[in-house]
């Protein structure tokens, strides 16, 4: 569950470290080069702890490869093959923007709740109704496409009706 920011930087949700299930804010950028053969080229944003843990020196890397022949064991990267740096100003601004997402969603009310479900890929109960990421995505797409007057009409509907209308209009009712 990661997100590509406008600059191309890959980060976890809410500007977090890109390592699985890490809740720490990302503050170090690692650039993956074609030579490193990591299967990805976009820079990724990690927390300090994960950079230390995952990007090891050549000696440690070779020792790990020997111990875990066949690719078993925790995945580590050979530090010398990557560029590890502070985020650029643009990247730092994007990460800060992501970190402020909860505040933006809270300020946007109902639509903010739907945006949050989409962004975090987690179904949440909105006014008693469990809304999944797929349905919330339809709600956000519809809201963003509507003009001011229709937004107000749609926002005045109960959650069940909002979802039904959004799914019908945006997705043609199909999954």
Nearest residue to Zn ion, using CB? Answer: 17
Residues 106 and 56 sit within 8 Å (Cβ to Cβ): no
Residues 159 and 125 sit within 8 Å (Cβ to Cβ): no
Q: Which residues of 63-81 are buried (b: 16+ CB within 10 A; e: fewer)?
A: eeeeeeeeeeeeeebbbee
CB of 52 to Zn ion, least distance (A): 10
Instruction: Compute how many residues bind Zn ion; rule: CB under 5 A.
Output: 6
* Residue positions counted in the chain: 175
One residue of 24, 101, 123, 133 binding Zn ion per CB under 5 A: 24
Residues 6+ apart with CB under 8 A from 153: none
One residue of 11, 14, 45, 47 binding Zn ion per CB under 5 A: 47
CB of 45 to Zn ion, least distance (A): 9
Q: Which of residues 142-161 bind Zn ion (CB under 5 A)?
A: none
| Interaction pattern, residues 57-96, with Zn ion; x per rule: CB under 5 A | ----------------------------------------
Does 139 participate in binding Zn ion (rule CB under 5 A)? Answer: no
Q: Which stretch binds Zn ion (CB under 5 A): 24-32, 61-69, 104-112, 144-152?
A: 24-32
One residue of 2, 3, 22, 157 binding Zn ion per CB under 5 A: 22
Task: Indicate the residue among 22 and 169 with the shorter CB distance to Zn ion.
Answer: 22
Residues 6+ apart with CB under 8 A from 63: none
Does 50 participate in binding Zn ion (rule CB under 5 A)? Answer: yes
CB of 18 to Zn ion, least distance (A): 8
Interaction site with Zn ion (CB under 5 A): 17, 19, 22, 24, 47, 50
């Amino acid at each position: 569950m990661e997100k590509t920011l406008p600059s191309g930087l890959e980060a976890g949700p809410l500007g977090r470290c890109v390592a699985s299930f890490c809740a720490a804010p990302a503050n170090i950028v690692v650039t993956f080069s074609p030579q490193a053969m990591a299967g990805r080229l976009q820079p990724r944003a990690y927390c300090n702890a994960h950079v230390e843990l995952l990007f090891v020196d050549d000696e440690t890397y070779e020792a790990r490869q020997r111990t875990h022949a066949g690719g078993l064991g925790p995945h580590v990267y050979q530090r010398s093959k990557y560029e590890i740096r502070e985020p650029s100003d643009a990247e730092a601004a994007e990460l800060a923007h992501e970190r402020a997402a909860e505040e933006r969603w809270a300020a946007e009310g109902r639509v903010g709740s739907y945006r949050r479900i989409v962004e975090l890929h987690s179904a949440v109960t909105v006014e008693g109704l469990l809304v999944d990421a797929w349905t919330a995505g339809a709600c956000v797409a519809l809201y963003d496409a509507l003009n001011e007057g229709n937004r107000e009409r749609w926002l005045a509907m109960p959650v069940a009706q909002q979802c039904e209308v959004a799914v019908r209009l945006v997705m043609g009712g199909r999954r």
